[in-house]
Structure 1
């Protein structure tokens, strides 16, 4: 199946500047394509991941993928999707973010058929007069003002700095076309105006025969109409320090039945027949949630590796069964990150005192009743002895005590020294 046909089947194409021409070119040769990300933060979230999954598909189909880290454009700020002017970051912060994003990209894409570039390398070398003479002259003000990304900001105002962003992005496309043999730019739907501005500029410089194309992805919405990629806790990050691999896995595992097949098509590299089999099982045995489990496995493996999936599944199983004693300290930190947290000292303490002092139980009478009835578990072990003494330093490297009351009510006690 041609890469363009596959992307259409997966529902991954929103707009293309010339679909027939692009399809023909991909059948004739290995093309160069790129997608960019500005270093406005030190990690991507799964919303950023969407166009890069498409880039990965082209890479796997034998095409030459280029990732552009926007060290230059990131120091300016893209007005797209913003209701007000960005606060400029220090160049020190921009360069720090560049390094972190580059590390993430290397992890996701490996070394084959991939080139990582930074537009700071060429944009920083253009002086003002050259910018105005060589590029500014090619852009019509009326056309720029009509671009959705600019028009949406005119009411509240837009600075000349952010207004020129589309020229800088066009220069990127032209630079990669000339120096890296890149013919296609991939981006989100909100980037359509910027990408087509680059195509127009290349045609003005190189002639209308220059084979350059635009391809954007659809806006990803959940079945309930809300924006994909957000949780109650905020964005789902690719950085494991911001969103643990367990939380990442759980995000995908908890997707709605109405969305899961769409996400399997878009975010996994499973073959068509595998996805269709999972879709059929979703219809006949939805309670097994096999499609969700496969989605969580595939995307977590792509972003964090197979070991992260094994860890996430161990944590999930332990929390469900109550067998937490075999989890590692790292797994406890991941799985209990959002659990109610209390503090205990490192000194041995009677179980009744522990429950009352941490306010897990409201009174000693209630604590004694729950212990006697077998409702209290310490580090996975049911405790019925009212005189039981807990040594907080004996498990999980002396960092945690896991307290469970009833079937599912967990508390993470952090040990202080």
Structure 2
């Protein structure tokens, strides 16, 4: 099976140019392709995973991927897929974001110096030294206003307004493709479906400016917009975006996002986000129909992506936290796992001074009053690190402190509270 057939089976192709020509080009050559990532934050989020994994899929098929960091275009802002203008960041901030994203991409792609080893490029290298006169005279003249206005990325912004700064983004991205074609023999650009207009504009620029090059055959391919069956936005949770940076979204939170995938989406996400064969995915789909309570497809999805992004050690930790919370065996967790697993629960800083359990519940605002606290304890509603405690005058012991610093109080079945213990 060739790479295009695999992508089609997975539903990963929205559009491509010259289907027959692209298939032949990929069959006959080690193709250099690129995808751009603008540094609009200090981390990629899971919405960036599909195009990043597309580069990896092409690399596994023997082709050479370029991950292009938009250190230059990131100073401008892409209007595609937006209803308003981006907040522009200063150069120092964009440079910092660029370096962070470069490091994240290095965990996904294989940079080994081989014929199809991935490379990272930053378009600030060529856009940063480009003069305005040079840009307008040699590149801008190839773009008609009517041609640009017809592109969806511009059309969608005309009603609310688009600045000249963002209007030029298409030309800058086209310049990137031309530059990579010249310097890297890059003949294929991939991106999200909202990038179709920018990609085809770059192809047109190459055709216009490289007429003398009989080999100037270039292609474009886009992946579909990811949608969720329940209509909510993909990649968002109550706490915000799901980031690839473990300090912004912990491996446990990352794992939980995937394992809680809607049943209606899990097979599609297995196709999009994993490298499992179609036979393996079909088997998991069958399991989902026959034994949905086992959640084998969800578990496999969460395992595969967490391993890919964070590594086996972080995956093992995420699974350990998950199992401990499911079983109630909270004492199995260490301090780092406590911080991950209980990141979003109410917390209190408590200085131990031999206060009784009743006083502790009131001090930590777990109970509204001593009367309520006494009732909760006597009724068996209070658990310390997963173990029920019904002693009104109980005081926390050293073995109640996980790593000497944390205690988890549970009230009822689901209400957790984190105590940060100060001695």
TM-score (norm 1): 0.96
Q: Would the aligned equivalents of 2:384 and 2:400 in 1 still touch at CA under 8 Å?
A: no
Cα offset for 1:328?
1.1
- Structure 2 residues not aligned, in runs of 5+: none
Equivalent residue runs for 1:334-349 within 5 Å: 334-349=340-355
Deviations 1:123-157 (A, max 9, x none): 11211111111111111111011111112222222
Aligned to 1:144: 148
1:128 pairs with 2:132: yes
2:279 and 2:233 map into 1 onto residues whose CA distance is 28
| Worse-superposed segment, 334-343 or 67-76 | 334-343
1:348 and 1:328 map into 2 onto residues whose CA distance is 24
1:129 and 1:360 map into 2 onto residues whose CA distance is 66
Cα offset for 1:341?
2.1
| Worse-superposed segment, 23-32 or 356-365 | 356-365
Aligned to 2:167: 163
1:98 pairs with 2:98: yes
Aligned to 2:55: 55
Cα offset for 1:180?
0.9
Give the number of aligned pairs: 417
Cα offset for 1:202?
0.4
Q: Would the aligned equivalents of 1:30 and 1:64 in 2 still touch at CA under 8 Å?
A: yes
Question: Residue 135 of structure 2: SS of its match in structure 1?
Answer: helix
Aligned to 2:107: 107
Cα offset for 1:378?
1.6
Question: Residue 116 of structure 1: SS of its match in structure 2?
Answer: strand
Q: Would the aligned equivalents of 2:53 and 2:108 in 1 still touch at CA under 8 Å?
A: no
1:267 pairs with 2:273: yes
Cα offset for 1:209?
5.0
Cα offset for 1:394?
6.2
1:179 pairs with 2:183: yes
Aligned to 1:84: 84
Distance 1:373 1:153, change over 3 A: closer
Aligned to 1:251: 257
| Worse-superposed segment, 55-64 or 339-348 | 339-348
1:148 and 1:245 map into 2 onto residues whose CA distance is 37
Aligned to 1:319: 325
Q: Would the aligned equivalents of 2:180 and 2:186 in 1 still touch at CA under 8 Å?
A: yes
Cα offset for 1:393?
9.2
Distance 1:242 1:5, change over 3 A: same
Among 153, 157, 160, the residue aligned to 2:157: 153
Q: Would the aligned equivalents of 1:344 and 1:358 in 2 still touch at CA under 8 Å?
A: yes
| Worse-superposed segment, 363-372 or 137-146 | 363-372
Q: Would the aligned equivalents of 2:52 and 2:105 in 1 still touch at CA under 8 Å?
A: no
Cα offset for 1:229?
1.4
Cα offset for 1:53?
1.3
Equivalent residue runs for 1:268-417 within 5 Å: 268-391=274-397, 395-416=401-422
Q: Would the aligned equivalents of 2:68 and 2:120 in 1 still touch at CA under 8 Å?
A: yes
Distance 1:307 1:132, change over 3 A: same
Q: Would the aligned equivalents of 2:321 and 2:341 in 1 still touch at CA under 8 Å?
A: yes
Question: Residue 190 of structure 2: SS of its match in structure 1?
Answer: strand
Cα offset for 1:391?
4.7
Aligned to 1:229: 235
Question: Residue 195 of structure 1: SS of its match in structure 2?
Answer: helix
Cα offset for 1:396?
2.8
Q: Would the aligned equivalents of 2:52 and 2:108 in 1 still touch at CA under 8 Å?
A: no
2:419 and 2:396 map into 1 onto residues whose CA distance is 12
* Coordinate RMSD, CA, aligned: 1.7
1:225 and 1:411 map into 2 onto residues whose CA distance is 32
- Structure 1 residues not aligned, in runs of 5+: none
Aligned to 1:215: 221
1:14 and 1:294 map into 2 onto residues whose CA distance is 26
Cα offset for 1:50?
1.6
| Worse-superposed segment, 244-253 or 308-317 | 308-317
2:260 and 2:174 map into 1 onto residues whose CA distance is 40
Aligned to 2:71: 71
Equivalent residue runs for 1:199-214 within 5 Å: 199-207=203-211, 209-214=215-220
Aligned to 2:8: 8
Cα offset for 1:392?
7.2
Aligned to 1:193: 197
Aligned to 1:23: 23
1:104 and 1:40 map into 2 onto residues whose CA distance is 14
| Worse-superposed segment, 152-161 or 121-130 | 152-161
| Worse-superposed segment, 3-12 or 386-395 | 386-395
